[in-house]
Amino acid sequence: MNIDTKALGKVAVLMGGDSAEREVSLMSGGGVLAALQSQGVDAHAFDPSQRELVELKKEGFARCFIALHGRHGEDGTVQGALELLRIPYTGSGVMASAIAMDKVMTKRVWLAEGLPTPRYVTLRRDQLVRERVVAVPDELGLPLIVKPPHEGSSIGVTKVTGYSQMQDAVALAAQYDAEVLCEEFIEGDELTCPVLGEGDSARALPVIKIVAPEGAYDYQNKYFTDVTQYLVPSGLPAALEAEIQALVVRAYRTLGCRGWGRADLMLRASDQKPFLLEMNTSPGMTGHSLVPMSARAAGMSYEQLCVHLISHAALDH
């Protein structure tokens, strides 16, 4: 993979931003920036919450590495701005980013294509009355997961094991979103699988099995502790791993993703059936992050991964 890094031109690493995941984005962006610079790329940090995006054009940036997470970074808005500025960027385009950022919309698209995802109920702001909220476990069973459909990094997520917890769980998720997603809990192993490329050339990287303490793979355990175990190779039978990879690539293509992404799944213990939870179109690139870990298992270093992604920066049209 010999890429002429000088030919990539001046690169902006977009990081920080104003979402609930700003802290993680700064860690991701710092890692990407150092990696690109170490490979001879003319890369510079750029925080869209501190500066106007139009400055990218004025300062002659040739392409952008999007290391933003959450709103205004992963949801199609910054992608749309870069389309208008005609500056190629990493990751999915406007539509795929917008759909993938919305977990409910993602589920609708996947279900329309016959892809497996846990059963769910959505509650709008005007439906957060006690009678409606406590009826959800009757529909989905217990335990269940309550989360805001537009946040990442496990922010605002609760695993509900009894009726009495529903009200608090919904109230927490509603702090982050106008809509609350209640999802059937799939008992089994938590998996994640990255994808690189676009269309027919999209390929899955090795599957990672996540073993969190008491199954609490939350914000703290994702970024700030070392107690979570990540198994790569996953230890799954080869045929099952291949099946999961094929499912993830289908899920990625169905949403129209490009560049890179990472699907999160649950593998049901009772029958080893995989269920898609979500697609991340701007995955983390911190020291704890999963795409670099999976890429390493496939023989690609963090630095090579960063250069690969920026060299494939593109525009929708």
Instruction: Provide the annotated active-site residues.
Output: 21, 153, 223, 262, 264, 278, 280, 284
Q: Tell me if 186 sits within 8 A of 161, measured CB to CB.
A: no
Strand duo 63-66 + 158-160: pairing:
unpaired
Q: Tell me if 261 sits within 8 A of 120, measured CB to CB.
A: no
Strand duo 63-66 + 10-14: pairing:
parallel
Q: How far apart (Å, rounded) are the C-alpha atoms in residues 221 and 118?
A: 23
What are the φ/ψ torsions at residue 195 (nearest 5 degrees)?
A: -130, 140
37-75 burial: b if 16+ Cβ within 10 Å, else e: bebebebebbbbeeeebeebeeeebbbbbbbbbbbebbb
